[in-house]
Amino acid sequence: MKDNKYLFIIVITYFVLGFININFALSGLFCMMLPFILLVRNRKKTWCQGYCPRASLLNATGKVASKFSLKTPAFLIRGKMKWIMLVYFSISLLFITMTTIRVGLGFSPPLEHLRFLIVIPIPYELPQWVVFENPIPWLTHLSYRFYSMMMTTTVIGVILSLIYKPRTWCAICPISTLSGEYIKYVNK
Ligand code: SF4
């Protein structure tokens, strides 16, 4: 497995871009699709094996606390946790889609702050250094929701990397779970 150790800069750039204007958060959609495009093309976890910026970040943060790291609990590696994370991920995407449609139809105002784990509001207003005139409300809503989801999973991943092994998150990452199931399916 390659360790492209500077790829974590992409993750940091992504979150900084959100400070410039939240609509940049939608660039994460591209990053989310890329692992699956490579998966279907190569029939293996190409993304996970050397191109994932988040894995690079977790390797970097995990090294900071590597001397004090605890043994990873079995429920994280082999238990149901990966399925729980997949359910969270699916609910998040469904929630993002449904609420964006509601905002688009004018039934509710757009979200204009970040949320942790879908529902917990972050008591901090994201600065917007560049403000577009007449922003499209549903696009703003989608951007805040997407940024919140990326922030939540990154924070969980970093905390796990500091407590346990650097890439503990990878054992429960929904992209890895879905990729694994796809590979099993095509190899049948
Ligand atoms: S499992 Fe998830 S975080 Fe880990 S390398 Fe793959 S996509 Fe990245």
Q: What residue spans define the domains of the chain?
A: 8-187
Which tens digits make up the pLDDT trace of 155-187?
999 999 999 999 999 999 999 999 999 999 998
Distance CA 122, CA 45 (A): 34
DSSP, collapsed to helix, strand or coil, labels residue 121 as strand
- What is the average pLDDT across 34-46? 96
Instruction: Name the DSSP letter for residue 69.
Output: P
Positive or negative CA dihedral for 121, 127, 133, 136?
A: negative
Are 120 and 92 spatial neighbours (Cβ–Cβ below 8 Å)?
no
Q: Is the CB of 169 under 6 A from ligand 1?
A: yes
- What is the average pLDDT across 68-96? 91
What lies within 8 Å, CB to CB, of 63 at 6+ separation is 166
Express as a percent the part of the chain with pLDDT over 70: 98
Q: Is the CB of 54 under 6 A from ligand 1?
A: yes
* Phi-psi domain of 44 (left: phi exceeds 0; alpha: psi -120 through 50; beta: other): beta
Weakest-pLDDT range from 53-57, 64-68, 170-174: 64-68
Residue 149 has pLDDT above 60, yes or no: yes
Distance CA 115, CA 34 (A): 25
Count of CB atoms within 10 A of residue 85's CB? 20
Q: What pLDDT is stored for residue 2 in this prediction? A: 58
For all residues of the chain together, what is the average pLDDT?
92
Distance CA 99, CA 108 (A): 8
Q: Is the CB of 172 under 6 A from ligand 1?
A: no
Q: What is the pTM of this model?
A: 0.91
Mutate to test the pocket of ligand 1, among 47, 175, 177 (most ligand atoms within 8 A of CB): 175
Q: What pLDDT is stored for residue 137 in this prediction? A: 94
Q: Is the CB of 175 under 6 A from ligand 1?
A: yes
At 42, list the tokens: 């190569």
- Residue 120, strand partner residues: 116
